[in-house]
Structure 1
Amino acid sequence: MRILSFPVLASSFLVARTLATDTISTNEVSTCLTGSDVEVRELSVTYTRSTREVVFNIDGTSKKIQNVTASLTVTAYGNQVYSKDFDPCSSDNYVAQLCPVPAGSFQAHGTQQIPEEYASQIPSIAFQIPDLDGLAKIQLKSKDDGAEVACIQSGLSNGKTMQVQSVTYAAVGVAGAALALSGLSALGTAGHTGASSSSPSFGDVMGWFHSMATNGMLSVSYPPIYRSFTKNFAFSTGLIPWGDMQTAIDNFRASTGGNLTQNSYEFLRNATLTYSDGSSTNTTSKVKRGLNLIVGAVDLATRDLSGSFSSDTTSSNSTDGDESTFHKAVSGIEAYAEQLTIPQANTFMTVLLIFAIVVAAIAVGILLLKVILELWALYGSFPEKLKDFRKDYWGLLARTITNLILILYGVWVLYCIYQLTTGDSWAAKALAAATLAVFTGVLMFFGLRIMHLARKYKKSEGDTAALYEDRETWRKYSLFYDSYKKDYWWLFIPAIVYMFAKGCVIAGANGHGLVQSAGQLIVEALMLGLLLWNRPYVAKSSQWINITIQVVRVLSVVCVLVFVEELGLSQTTKTVTGIVLIAVQSGLTGILAILIAVNAIIICVRENPHAKRQREAEKLNRDMDDLTPLDARESLLMDNPPRKDYAEMSKFNFTGPYEPYRDQKLPQPQHGRMGSTDRLVEPAYHLDDQHGRSLSRESRRSRDSHGSPERHHATTPGYGFAY
């Protein structure tokens, strides 16, 4: 059937070919009238700029013969840019297949050349904007009573999209580079307490990717360009499309109370997802003019259409067509997951299985590392700093998994709450509740343990510096606070609360975009205020990187508020905001990638600062142990050690602070048979094996003959001060 003026249709129902260079085509045709007399099972129309040709293919059915009128409406970015009513039986718009509409199955296909005078006026921008936000709708009404007998609509696309596999691969590469850099940094600081992690770390990068992904999970009306962009980072949250896995999860759900009727992988493969529409205002002039020109150009070719017709009541494509007529309205987390062909009821189980695979890979990788180190120790010279890695396999595995839990905690809370509120399988709900309790319990245990140690050190030593200086404490717990200053070790606790609150807001308020956006804005703003007020990071680079990331998070949520339907902003405004969001978020991602590369170069060319400091300290201790009475460094003029550094006193072999004067004379030291009695200054302290300064007996007798009335001993150099 020649379903209406096909050149007109061709101009309106335009693309769905990914990465096409100069085409506009129909995309996911759907019906907008249930129970209609005329149904179109398949509609494919493509306009190619280079050849100026419109190619179409239509397959449909009609219940009866009837005379109709047609109405065509084209909207772009929420604004109506073209509207036309016509009679397919009139001389100006005659379409044989619609005059009258035949009964039974019909097919039509053909090619139409567009005149140069119209094709040349179509602006290039119509072919260049990714994820073109356009919609064409055709309505057929009965001439007898004016009732609507058919309604068909289709999205318009130029084949370009922001969802590109290369972007995902690049993001995976950035995350992998950050992981490798964090590993190298850990090896470089092995055995050194108090060493801060490199920045941006793997956790920083994954946290930023999580933010971009969750920005696309809210129940708001996203512009198509931004919706496609956020899907590039779904992998960071554990949503990885895998057909066999989805089929296995469907079978698991079916055996545990799940309903697969419209919530399964097979259904989703043959379904068309429908998103919520935004309010309409004026669109950009170039896009509006381009779409109108396309419609006008193809409208000229109405009379020359070629087609074919069959009155058979069956069709070889009927099965496929019936399957392709499934339509599903989606929004929020459901829309985000099902764009990736992951049924919404399968989201948690998908993330759980991906997590299990990652944990298994980590265990195997660490075991392989242990085997390599054991072979190295047997057949080669084993480095001293790698002994901890060799001896502490289970501890290293536990700390790695704990670190993974800490990184994923925010999205894990989100998926668990979503499963508990919308899931249909009792087993999946039980797993969600159990894993959420376990993950929360693990983090609570470490949090309480670190707080207990901090109070203990505070009570016994006056501060919590031992969290950073005690080797065993640092090895076990530093992954929570290694990037913070000593006074801000506790900041990991509000960071965990922040992740929990963010996941609860997004999943708990699913379906209420305004509540989600406002709640997330409050959470992000509070975290930003905490960072700005305390500035807790050790390194200035970490300070600025993390504060910048948090600022962009706040700005991103502010921009997402523009997409909230309750605010009634125009589709054009939403599209412009989406483009700005993409630019800002892509820019920050690029900066993180550059910083990772710079850090990698620094690690390769610069000497390890921790090893250098340790070597200098060891050299200083050896030099002080080798001092002689005539050494210039043993001079009375030698500067005293820094007074404020208790930890450094051991380098100079001092034993304690200033000791007060006594009224009675201190007992003379007893010398062994082999001991020397030569002294220049009588020591005020009895030092067993410490380095005193030697004096002759003559000097001592001379000093005693001029003894002071108070019989006080002279102060030993380096003493007499409270350090």
Structure 2
Amino acid sequence: MFSSLARLRAIAFTFSSLAILSHALEGSLFTSSVTYCAPPETLLIQQFDVEYFAANNSVSFNISAESVDSNVNVSASMLVNVFGIQPVNITIDLCGILNGALCPLPQYNFTGSDSITLPGSISSNFPSIAFIIPDLEGYAQLTLTEVGTGDVKACVQATLSNGLSTHQRAVEWTTGSLTLFTLFVALWQSCFPTAILPHRLLDLVNLFQSVAVSALLNLNYPVTYISYALNFAWSLSLFSSGDDSMQGAINNMRALTGGGLANSTSSSAVAFVNRKLSPFNSDSASSSSGSISSLSSLAKRTVESSLLHIQQRDVAVVTSESDNVLSAGIPIYVSTINIATANAFMTVFLCTLILIANALFVFGFGWLSLFAMERYGIGREDRRIQIRRAYSPWIRAWTLRLSSVMFTPIVVFAFYQWTLNDSWLSILFSVIAFLGIMSAVCYPCIVVIRSVRRSEPSVLYTDSFLLKSYGTLYTQYLPSRYYIFLPLIIVAFSKAIIVAFISSSGMAQVILFLILEIALVFRVLLFRPHKTRGADIFSAFLGIVRVVCTGLMIAFVQSIGVKPIPRYAIGLVLAVINSIAILVVFFNLALHSGIQRLWKRREATSSSSSSTSSSLQGSSNIMLEKNVTPSPEYPSSDPFGRPRNPTPERNVPLDPEINQPYSPSSPTATTTDYASTRQRDSESTNFGSVLPRRWSFTPLHTPTESSGLDHTPPFESTLSRTSEEQIEQASHPHA
């Protein structure tokens, strides 16, 4: 009966939790995760939900528990911690609530819920901002102490939330969709080796990856920044699966190959965060030292049935001495999206295989299309030959771009996998992936540098094979600054080493990150490597943004001890700065995607139409000023009566001796009877006599090698003044 009631109440509470947003609007705090803050002995808790309503200053709770000891009377101490502040710290006599059903604790599974109105002095301690800010950092702790002896019988911690977070699925889908759209446009524009959009695509993905990697350091991040950085986890190939099919397969693989670390679960990872870090913001030894010390001896007497209940109810014991506590950095980041720490690399590896399969499909489809064009003769032959010759370099270029995108996630998580010593198969795959990505990225760099050493930097732009295959590395830079791409690869590799192998010191990680980012900024400011000033400004802007964000993260170093509220504010500032940088990159992508050509074309069309209308208006003005009327014989003539087509409509008598091409071997024109060799439409055509030698034709240029610069045919004759006068008189006999 009691179990049935427990299920019904659990279902009711589940339906009520669907209205999380309404809770936030109403001003309430509710439970987001539950863990034991000490090993359970007397009381085993199956469900513990707490919710605080600011409207009536009340606390409602729903508890489902079981006592394993008889005749135990306890009092409950409630502690609420919000951003390190404790607005609530009260003791409740359980014998005075629920009509005494909990005094003494019953030895069966019991459920109960109630609402308690808090004193006004307590409600004044709750800051109103706690109900409207995203990613609230707070928890409620319930400690049951035996009446008379003071022994702690149970300790439970429940993290609190107001339903708001900077981690939004809409942001993930929006950024991913825009990146995918940019990829499609870049695929088309990459047919031109000097296109800018493929480079801006890499800049966008690198920006997303830099935000995600910045949350992998051993720092006490505020929850709001980790949640914000999780919006770009997909850029590191970290995809959380709703049905956990991929994670379940990885768990099984690791179990069969020597893996001994914790597997992935669908439960909230925030419950396993170190109590010194956000959202707890307190040392567990100080908050419940009495509980832990008192229960350390009681833990030895825990019955086997109690442990069985704990496993079935999936309520973990998390203390400062527990080995299941999540450390800062990669463990907290990946576990928040339900990916186990030991599964991080294999998740990246499987996603990389999926990306490779998609790329092979696209490349193979292109080859089949070329084969079909050759087989059935589709298109012009010269066009097919041109496409066939350019397709292989195009594949090499996009292979290099995809390798650049996957370089950071593979290297970071491969290095981190080597520090875990978990599954030998995972380590083997990490070595294979590391060697593969290093070969795919380093080999083109070696080819480019070797080509320059054998010749000169200009060969990178004159050699069609190098330009189309490996131009991704250097075409956005000046020929004299082609080597500027090398620092980017070195910095990405250095960051991977810092994240994986220097995780013991957060201060060292931040300082080294800051040095690398400053070096990248000076690389742009000193060398000005790009072809345009706008590109230099854009690159410098992104570098300065990374420097500022990295510098602000010094406040997250645990040894500095910045208070939770200032640390939370800095996290919001970082999210805002990175969001502005992302918007700037999207705007830059829009400018280089060809959209600006639309309004340029409109401006050109409008300007041409306006110039045409102005010319017509000017012509009419001239006609009015000179009092000239267009000739009726030429309806489309200009104001002076001249036809647009300069070809005369009547046959003009020409002298055959004059209308002869120039011949260097015979300076004197020869006489030819055109009437006998060529039929004319009119029989009235007459030819004149031969002119004197002083009026003979001479070429405009001597046919030498320098005449190749002249586009006029070398043997084209021109009319002399006399012939022009004769033609003018013949065409106007009545003038």
Tell me if both proteins adopt one fold, taking TM over 0.5 as the criterion: yes
Which residues of 2 match residues 596-611 of structure 1 at below 5 A?
A: 596-602=589-595, 605=598
1:138 to 125, 130, 142: 142
Alignment partner of 1:159: what SS? coil
Change (3 A) 1:120 1:389: farther
Provide the C-alpha distance between the structure 2 equivalents of 1:250 and 1:117, rounded to a whole number of angstroms.
50
Change (3 A) 1:112 1:72: closer
Corresponding residue of 1:213: 212
Alignment partner of 2:497: what SS? helix
Corresponding residue of 1:43: 48
Change (3 A) 1:505 1:251: same
Provide the C-alpha distance between the structure 1 equivalents of 2:667 and 2:451, rounded to a whole number of angstroms.
46
Provide the C-alpha distance between the structure 1 equivalents of 2:380 and 2:469, rounded to a whole number of angstroms.
23
State the TM-score, normalized to the length of structure 2.
Answer: 0.70
Corresponding residue of 1:363: 360
Shift of 1:272: 3.9
Higher deviation after alignment, 44-53 or 590-599: 44-53
Change (3 A) 1:118 1:376: farther
Corresponding residue of 1:306: none
2:408 to 407, 410, 415: 410
1:27–1:157 contact (8 Å) kept in structure 2: yes
1:268–1:338 contact (8 Å) kept in structure 2: no
1:42–1:321 contact (8 Å) kept in structure 2: no
Q: What is the one-letter code of the residue matched to 1:521?
A: L
Shift of 1:456: 1.9
Shift of 1:325: 2.7
Higher deviation after alignment, 368-377 or 329-338: 368-377
1:178–1:200 contact (8 Å) kept in structure 2: no
Change (3 A) 1:53 1:274: same
Q: What is the one-letter code of the residue matched to 1:413?
A: V
Say whether residues 1:335 and 2:332 are aligned partners.
Answer: yes
Alignment partner of 1:101: what SS? coil
Say whether residues 1:57 and 2:62 are aligned partners.
Answer: yes
1:177–1:596 contact (8 Å) kept in structure 2: no
Which residues of 2 match residues 307-706 of structure 1 at below 5 A?
A: 318=309, 322-325=313-316, 327=318, 328-330=324-326, 331-372=328-369, 378=376, 381=379, 388-458=386-456, 464-602=457-595, 605=598
1:271–1:323 contact (8 Å) kept in structure 2: no
Alignment partner of 2:314: what SS? helix
Q: What is the one-letter code of the residue matched to 1:503?
A: A
Provide the C-alpha distance between the structure 2 equivalents of 1:384 and 1:169, rounded to a whole number of angstroms.
43
Deviations 1:185-243 (A, max 9, x none): 223x2xxx6x2523772101100000111121112111111111111110000001232
Deviations 1:407-464 (A, max 9, x none): 2212221111001111411121122122212222332222221111112222xxxxx1
Corresponding residue of 1:75: 81
Provide the C-alpha distance between the structure 2 equivalents of 1:32 and 1:319, rounded to a whole number of angstroms.
13
Corresponding residue of 2:287: none
Provide the C-alpha distance between the structure 2 equivalents of 1:278 and 1:443, rounded to a whole number of angstroms.
38
1:184 to 185, 188, 196: 188
Shift of 1:690: 6.5
Change (3 A) 1:417 1:18: farther
Shift of 1:380: 5.4
Provide the C-alpha distance between the structure 2 equivalents of 1:40 and 1:98, rounded to a whole number of angstroms.
14
Change (3 A) 1:442 1:367: closer
Change (3 A) 1:17 1:228: farther
1:25–1:158 contact (8 Å) kept in structure 2: yes
Provide the C-alpha distance between the structure 2 equivalents of 1:598 and 1:687, rounded to a whole number of angstroms.
45
Shift of 1:57: 2.2
Two-structure CA RMSD over aligned residues (Å):
4.0
Alignment partner of 1:479: what SS? coil
Provide the C-alpha distance between the structure 2 equivalents of 1:495 and 1:369, rounded to a whole number of angstroms.
31
Shift of 1:66: 2.1
Provide the C-alpha distance between the structure 2 equivalents of 1:488 and 1:574, rounded to a whole number of angstroms.
41
Provide the C-alpha distance between the structure 2 equivalents of 1:409 and 1:95, rounded to a whole number of angstroms.
64
Change (3 A) 1:382 1:355: farther
State the TM-score, normalized to the length of structure 1.
Answer: 0.71
Change (3 A) 1:279 1:427: closer
Q: What is the one-letter code of the residue matched to 2:113?
A: H
Provide the C-alpha distance between the structure 1 equivalents of 2:394 and 2:198, rounded to a whole number of angstroms.
21
Provide the C-alpha distance between the structure 2 equivalents of 1:454 and 1:422, rounded to a whole number of angstroms.
42
Alignment partner of 1:130: what SS? coil
Unmatched runs of 5 consecutive residues or more in structure 1: 2-13, 284-312, 459-463, 609-670, 697-723
Unmatched runs of 5 consecutive residues or more in structure 2: 3-15, 283-303, 319-323, 602-662, 669-696, 716-735
Alignment partner of 1:84: what SS? strand
Change (3 A) 1:396 1:693: closer
Higher deviation after alignment, 95-104 or 329-338: 95-104
- Give the aligned length: 577
Deviations 1:483-511 (A, max 9, x none): 11111100111111111001111111224
Shift of 1:281: 13
Deviations 1:260-314 (A, max 9, x none): xx5223586899432443499999xxxxxxxxxxxxxxxxxxxxxxxxxxxxx99
Provide the C-alpha distance between the structure 2 equivalents of 1:332 and 1:16, rounded to a whole number of angstroms.
31
Q: What is the one-letter code of the residue matched to 1:234?
A: A
Change (3 A) 1:380 1:418: same
Q: What is the one-letter code of the residue matched to 1:28?
A: S
Higher deviation after alignment, 395-404 or 132-141: 395-404
Corresponding residue of 1:247: 248
1:70–1:141 contact (8 Å) kept in structure 2: yes
Say whether residues 1:227 and 2:263 are aligned partners.
Answer: no
Shift of 1:118: 10
Shift of 1:255: 2.2
Alignment partner of 1:531: what SS? helix
Corresponding residue of 2:197: 198
Change (3 A) 1:607 1:252: farther
Provide the C-alpha distance between the structure 1 equivalents of 2:176 and 2:275, rounded to a whole number of angstroms.
31
Corresponding residue of 2:273: 274
Change (3 A) 1:36 1:15: farther
Alignment partner of 1:100: what SS? coil
Change (3 A) 1:692 1:204: closer
1:88–1:95 contact (8 Å) kept in structure 2: no
Higher deviation after alignment, 165-174 or 533-542: 533-542
Corresponding residue of 1:103: 107
Provide the C-alpha distance between the structure 2 equivalents of 1:176 and 1:674, rounded to a whole number of angstroms.
72
Say whether residues 1:164 and 2:176 are aligned partners.
Answer: no
Say whether residues 1:128 and 2:132 are aligned partners.
Answer: yes
The sequence identity of aligned pairs, in percent, is 23
Change (3 A) 1:425 1:321: closer
Provide the C-alpha distance between the structure 2 equivalents of 1:689 and 1:586, rounded to a whole number of angstroms.
59
Corresponding residue of 1:633: none
Change (3 A) 1:276 1:600: farther
1:59–1:107 contact (8 Å) kept in structure 2: yes
Higher deviation after alignment, 237-246 or 530-539: 530-539
Shift of 1:382: 5.6
